[in-house]
Structure 1
Amino acid sequence: MIPLYHDFAGESVLVFGGGSVGARKASRFADEARVVVVSPAFDDRLVDLAEEGGRSGAGGPAVELVRAAPDADAVAGWVDRVGPALVVAATDDGAVNAAAEAAALDADLLVNRTDVSAADGSAGREARSVVVPATVEDDPVSVALSTGGASPALAKALRERVEAEIDGAGAMAELSGELRAELRERGIDPEARREAIRRVVRSEGVWKGLQKGRSNGRKEAYSVIEEELNR
């Protein structure tokens, strides 16, 4: 499988299953997409998500809870009504999950079936079947981690380790992007520009400067750049 990022802004995600797995999936998409969760009962986290969404925006709740217990035959109707970009099959009923997957594939939609892992091989997953990775973010930097569904516990442990490693990466990304544009405007040769930015992002002094504030980081970066350009 090849990891890709997908923009769900303005899209809907349909989740079948309101337990702990469904709650985790819904919370992953709620910041960006409209999420509809269909289930006969809901994890407390889902209730909280729905209430938070209702309080936070004029556009209505980010998470909509629909109390229903669709059987395998009724799943396709829910897919047609919601019109999602992604269907998440997260129930404890294999037949319902299989029906949700089939309905999504028939409609040319993406599907995330939580009871089948990438470790099961090509026989276990169909085309347009996706894995939702664990993510670590320091905006605008985002790192995705996946074990192919084989070990969510390992994905969580790796995420915690990566969180510490990329602390401050967002500020570095913004600064290096600005410096890159400034060097281009100065007419600096592309290869010299690339090497200067490489030196900046590898400089412990710049990273430490950013921890003290943006202006400190920029000052350290300019020092590194001028040293590189004057070599």
Structure 2
Amino acid sequence: MYLPLMLDMAGQPVVCVGAGPVAAGKLRPFVAAGGAAVVIAPEVSPAMTALMEAAEELSGTLHLVRRSFLPADLDRSPRMVIAATARPDVDDAVSAAADRRGVWCLRVDGGEQGSSVALPAMVQDDGVTVALTTGVPALSRRLRMELQAEVAQRWGPVASVLAALRRDPVVTRHLDDLPADVRRERWRAAVDAAMAVSDLPESAPPAGLDELARTALLD
């Protein structure tokens, strides 16, 4: 049974063994999260080359080592290793080496040794991240597609405004003087106010969302 976790990957080392299009697809979220990726493979696909070129724009880094995998590649204990070579014998070796070193391994082929990590389908927009896993990839993709529009149109803008209010020094100073239970109630009221505005037609003025949420926090 898998436990969903949120990991801060900024600057964290990730080793990807394999450089095909599947490997690139699995590695991309880690690079986008700011991970420091090392790709180990004798051959590189156009998809991985494109990811290398986009790495800096995605906030991460990607270094290529053009050779076959060696167990010693995991001696520095990366935060994560991805086994995606399309060769069961190599993926077995990667998975075994990771297991011996206590490193989480994402194995994409579902081999006999299994994977200690599952990468869910994700919906991300304006600070909202929704992770989906159903055990059926096609169903997870369908749910992601249906949730994407809802998050982008409704929840994303609300999350963006409320996150900005949490960083606002005026709001912070005001709430710091209140008891904890009152602060919680103010934030609940702010969420309700922001959601009410987000439910209005798209022509509604976006400034209304911030103003109503701010008023709920400060009144």
Q: Same fold (TM over 0.5)?
A: yes
Q: Distance in 2 between the 1:53 and 1:115 partners? A: 25
Identity of aligned residues (%): 28
**Matched residue of 1:15: which SS?**
strand
Q: Which amino acid aligns with 1:135?
A: M
8 Å contact 2:80–2:103 — kept in the other structure? yes
Q: Indicate the residue corresponding to 2:62 in structure 1.
A: 63
1:77 matched to 2:69: no
Q: Distance in 2 between the 1:66 and 1:225 partners? A: 52
Specify whether residues 192 and 206 from structure 1 end up closer, same or farther in structure 2 by C-alpha distance, changes over 3 A only: farther
TM-score (norm. length: structure 1)? 0.74
TM-score (norm. length: structure 2)? 0.78
Q: Which amino acid aligns with 2:73?
A: W
Q: Distance in 1 between the 2:102 and 2:27 partners? A: 21
Q: Indicate the residue corresponding to 2:18 in structure 1.
A: 17
Larger RCO, structure (CA 8 Å, separation 6 or more): 2
8 Å contact 1:26–1:37 — kept in the other structure? no
Specify whether residues 124 and 41 from structure 1 end up closer, same or farther in structure 2 by C-alpha distance, changes over 3 A only: closer
Q: Distance in 2 between the 1:178 and 1:53 partners? A: 29
Q: Distance in 1 between the 2:209 and 2:165 partners? A: 10
Q: How far is the alpha carbon of 1:212 from its aligned partner? A: 3.3
Q: How do 1:7-46 and structure 2 match up within 5 A?
A: 7-31=8-32, 32-46=34-48
Q: Indicate the residue corresponding to 2:192 in structure 1.
A: 202
Q: How far is the alpha carbon of 1:190 from its aligned partner? A: 3.4
Q: How do 1:201-220 and structure 2 match up within 5 A?
A: 201-203=191-193, 204-207=195-198, 212-213=205-206, 215-220=207-212
Deviates more, 1:203-212 or 1:164-173: 203-212
Q: How do 1:81-120 and structure 2 match up within 5 A?
A: 83-116=77-110
1:38-63 per-residue CA deviation (whole Å, 9 max, x = no partner) reads 22322312101212336x59x9x822
Q: How well do the aligned residues superpose, as a CA RMSD in angstroms? A: 3.2
Match of 1:132 among 89, 114, 119: 119
Q: Indicate the residue corresponding to 1:181 in structure 2.
A: 172
8 Å contact 2:123–2:129 — kept in the other structure? yes
Q: Distance in 1 between the 2:136 and 2:45 partners? A: 22
Q: Indicate the residue corresponding to 1:160 in structure 2.
A: 145
1:122-167 per-residue CA deviation (whole Å, 9 max, x = no partner) reads x8647xx1112222222432222223xx333322222222222222
Q: Indicate the residue corresponding to 1:120 in structure 2.
A: none
8 Å contact 2:124–2:130 — kept in the other structure? yes
Structure 1 unaligned runs (5+)? Answer: 118-122
Q: Which amino acid aligns with 1:91?
A: T
8 Å contact 1:206–1:217 — kept in the other structure? yes
**Matched residue of 1:136: which SS?**
strand
Q: How far is the alpha carbon of 1:176 from its aligned partner? A: 5.5
Q: How far is the alpha carbon of 1:104 from its aligned partner? A: 0.8
Q: Distance in 2 between the 1:24 and 1:216 partners? A: 39
**Matched residue of 1:212: which SS?**
coil
Q: Distance in 2 between the 1:78 and 1:190 partners? A: 49
8 Å contact 1:138–1:169 — kept in the other structure? no
Specify whether residues 156 and 76 from structure 1 end up closer, same or farther in structure 2 by C-alpha distance, changes over 3 A only: same
Q: Distance in 2 between the 1:134 and 1:48 partners? A: 21
Specify whether residues 176 and 53 from structure 1 end up closer, same or farther in structure 2 by C-alpha distance, changes over 3 A only: closer
